[in-house]
Chain A
Amino acid sequence: MNDVLTVRGLSVTVRETALVSDVDLTVGAGERVGLIGESGSGKSLTALSILGLLPEDVRAGGSVRLDGVDHELVGADERRMSRVRGRDIAMVFQEPMTALNPTMRIGDQIAETMLVHKTLSKPAARTAAADLLERVQLPAETLRAYPHQLSGGQRQRVVLALALANDPALLICDEPTTALDVTVQALVLDLIVRGVVDRSSALLFITHDLAVVATVCERVLVMYGGRVVEAGPVNEVFTRPRHRYTEGLLAASDLETTSRRLTTIPGNVPPAGRFPSGCVFRTRCAHATALCEETPAWSGSEAEGFACHHPAAQGSLEGVADA
């Protein structure tokens, strides 16, 4: 199995402030990888730098390679990146209400994805748009509708349809269900998984919702303070976390706990650029010692490992509630 996406030493900076540092990330063909973390952990910036759509004056460094694209994606010029976007990598954004052009019919917006890359002729793109809508379970009349005539869930399905239009090798979803009603979340997640499985596309799924990662992804990366702190298969990381942050995150979202009070991680996520040196989590970690002032090295393989000086014992969740 060859890797679709290979990210090495990715960093994102705004002026002198580092927002994302040293991120390594690999997504295999057809693999579904989750990227989790609190807001401000650098998940979305990581996604946007893969796509080359960072805001002005935010810069990416390091290396991003995509299978089948013969050039480096970090720092590639607009001309080359625009050929990759929407054809090899597609993205579904968080906010479906504003992601579509309010003055253009849905059918035209979907067809444009194919027309801009000349993957299909105009009449064929129309037919394909109808077919794509059917696959996300929207009626054919939707082609002639405008975005304001659709609900949030329907719009997100349209965004998904246009992202999948060119059968991309990699689909990136950035919190695709966060803005949706709980009742339609399951449907949209199901359509995303089915969409990538049907095309054997790889999926990079960004969320802060652990339950969603557990249903959608096979492997997960945990981000905190712009760094990947732990990685591994979903059931491994979620049942036997090694990094103390992952441990806290799981305890905080454990709904089956018998304890009456809600478990939280003490303190707040520091503002961007104010993370401590060494281990980024040490200011909020109950296990931190003087040793944590040094950046912890990565233990284990790239696919499965963690960066912590005082990892949780293998196979235990004890002591979490007191942390």
Chain B
Amino acid sequence: MILRLIERTGVFLVSLAVSSVLVFAFMAVLPGDPARVALGVNASDEAVAELRRQFGLDRPLPTQYFDWLGGLLHGDLGTSYVSKVAIGPQVFDRLQVTLWLVVAGMVIALVVAVPAGTVMAARHRKISGLALSAFSQVGVAVPAFLAGILLIVVFAVRLGWLPANGWTPPAQDPAMFLKQLILPALSLGLVQGAVLTRYVRSAVLEVLREDYLRTARAKGLRPFQALWRHGLRNAAVPVLTVLGLQLATLLIGAVVVERVFVIPGLGSLLLDGVSNRDLLLVQDVVMVLVIAVLLVNFIVDLLYVALDPRLRTAS
């Protein structure tokens, strides 16, 4: 058990280190000199060299990498080459916004997928199960931004029930926060939910065929009781795998959905960074997204161990 935890933690730390090298290397090989970008094409070579020295870009790449990494470990993400503003606080503010969106989207996806997938599996030969299947098939085919636009058209423009865009921090006005959160969270969550539903369905179908479910029935548990007490935890293991992967997709989805709903999240910060050629900002945001994805996978690994006692011995 302890060995297993150490093993998973080791894998997490190593992948963090490797991905930080990759992100840094990728940015380093991109053509274009941040100093030249900052000063414009007409700047003299001396001025550019001077700025490169200020940014620390004249040092060898390994030194630059460890400098950047050391800063990351202390929570110091550096100063933007373009706006000359500290990047850390910006990323932190934007991250909170995106996290709200992603978490709300995930909750919606789960709330949709777990009951719908279970019903689809339990009634896979009945009309209600087939109808749900067809409905989820449609959901799978719709991208999140399109779902967002459709939701805006119906609920904001036609019905006028909810605001079409904007963002209010929850501490400032909780009611407004919720109102503005609903549509973007729905457009992320419903699409992911439709995908997740299909995985929940096949996981539950798999479990329904298991011998231990028949044992549970032979004990005197009703079909639904047997599924609830003995099936769901077992079905959760494969679903968790998909959930981990989906969270990564959700982060990417958030980048687009933030644009549609004009939300100042990490996604819009990233897109702004790209259009301003703010390389360090882009590098930091990408790294934060990578850390988030790795962290999710690490948590998924720990949850496996919690769910399935067979995984508690180190492989």
Contact = CB atoms under 8 A, between A and B. Distances in A.
A78 B308 CA distance: 30
A117 B217 contact: no
Given A93-B211, A98-B211, A102-B234, A86 B308 contact: no
A84 to B, nearest CB: 8
A53 B214 contact: yes
Given A103-B308, A148-B309, A98 B212 contact: yes
Contacts of B222: 78-79, 82
A99 B215 contact: yes
Contacts of A317: none
B196 to A, nearest CB: 21
Interface in A257-315: none
Contact of B218 (A91, A95, A102, A148): A91
B53 interface: no
Given A82-B222, A87-B220, A117-B220, A148 B310 contact: yes
B230 interface: yes
B223 interface: yes
A116 interface: yes
A146 interface: yes
Contacts of B217: 53, 82, 85
A264 to B, nearest CB: 32
A91 B219 CA distance: 8
Interface in A169-208: none
Contact of A53 (B212, B218, B307, B310): B218
B300 interface: no
A146 B310 contact: yes
A113 B125 contact: no
Interface string A52-85: 0100100000000000000000000011001111
Contacts of A103: 233-234, 307-309
A148 B219 CA distance: 21
A84 B222 CA distance: 11
A69 to B, nearest CB: 13
Contacts of A99: 211-212, 214-215
Contacts of B212: 98-102
A82 B215 contact: no
A95 B211 contact: yes
A101 B214 contact: no
Contacts of A78: 222-223
Interface string A93-129: 1010011111110000000110011000000000000
Interface in A145-173: 146, 148, 159, 162-163
Interface centre among B214, B217, B220, B234 (most CB of A within 10 A): B220
Interface centre among B212, B218, B229 (most CB of A within 10 A): B218
A90 interface: yes
Interface in B230-287: 230, 233-234
B210 interface: yes
Contacts of B307: 103
A159 B218 CA distance: 11
A228 B221 CA distance: 31
B151 interface: no
B220 A116 contact: yes
B219 A86 contact: yes
A51 interface: yes
Contacts of A91: 218
B216 interface: yes
Contacts of B310: 102, 146, 148
Interface in B123-173: 125
A113 B219 contact: yes
A112 B225 CA distance: 12
Interface centre among A51, A84, A103, A162 (most CB of B within 10 A): A103
Contacts of A101: 212, 215-216, 230, 234
Interface string B187-227: 00000000000000000000000111011111111110100
Contact of A56 (B125, B216, B218, B230): B125
Interface in B274-315: 307-310
A91 B215 CA distance: 8
Nearest to B223: A78
Contact of B309 (A95, A102, A117, A159): A102
B122 to A, nearest CB: 11
B214 A93 contact: yes
B209 to A, nearest CB: 10
Interface centre among B219, B221, B223 (most CB of A within 10 A): B219
Nearest to B225: A116
A78 B221 CA distance: 10
B314 to A, nearest CB: 15
B306 to A, nearest CB: 10
A11 B281 CA distance: 74
Contact of B219 (A102, A146, A162): A162
A90 B233 contact: no
Interface centre among A56, A79, A148 (most CB of B within 10 A): A148
A148 B218 CA distance: 21
12 contacts: A53-B218, A82-B217, A83-B220, A85-B219, A86-B221, A87-B220, A93-B211, A98-B211, A99-B212, A113-B220, A116-B221, A116-B225
Interface of A: 51, 53, 56, 78-79, 82-87, 90-91, 93, 95, 98-104, 112-113, 116-117, 146, 148, 159, 162-163
Interface of B: 125, 210-212, 214-223, 225, 229-230, 233-234, 307-310
Give 6 closest A-B pairs by Cβ, nearest first.
A86-B220, A98-B211, A86-B219, A146-B309, A101-B212, A85-B220
